[in-house]
Amino acid sequence: MARCEKVLIAGFSGSGKSSLLSILAESAATDWNFLDLDQLLLDQNPIFSSIQELIETLGWEKFRLLERQGIEAFLKSEGKGVLALGGGAFNPLLWQLYGAHPKIKFCHLSAPFEVCWQRIISDVDEPRPLALKGKASLKELFDTRALVYQLIPWRIENNGNQTLSMLAHEFWSELE
């Protein structure tokens, strides 16, 4: 059986994907690479200082195209790696293309809406684009995306009661 070489972490905005990625990088005793898709896009487009600015300037359609290109480049890159996706980057087409690939695993980092909402609105240093939509609109988007995330069989619950270390342990246990 082929060993997993790439992991894509999907989840709603505020679910803790970037935080989990950081602790995974700290806890890794192997040669895994750790990338955040939003940071990758900003690194590739240095004229933008934030994802919000990138989206406002280029629009959602161009932003989603950049995300797809970033994911494809990551999947084609050499070595083992973990990529934290943006909240809307996971979709049925991505699952259809790569969900059954023996060397690629998807992990759904699941968090309740209220936990995500509190994290989204508390991020005052760099406001998240979704915060502008308002709570009711965001809850509707959350519910819609939750149906798409159900495609992913590997799910880690982040209800806010676990430490990042506990989540990282659960992540690495699944890959062994």
**Residue 129 pLDDT > 70:** no
Mean pLDDT, residues 58-78: 95
Q: How far apart are CA 146 and CA 165, in angstroms?
A: 25
Burial letters 6-31, b for 16+ CB under 10 A, else e:
bbbbbbbbbbbbeebbbbbeeeeeee
Between these two residues, 21 and 176, which has the higher pLDDT value? 21
Mean pLDDT, residues 32-57: 93
**Residue 153 pLDDT > 70:** yes
| Degrees to nearest 5, angle at CA 44 with 79 and 26 | 45
Q: Give the chain's domains with CATH numbers.
A: 6-175 (3.40.50.300)
Query: Quick one: pLDDT at residue 126?
Result: 64
Global pTM value:
0.92
Query: Quick one: pLDDT at residue 161?
Result: 84
**Longest distance between any two alpha carbons in the chain, whole Å:** 46
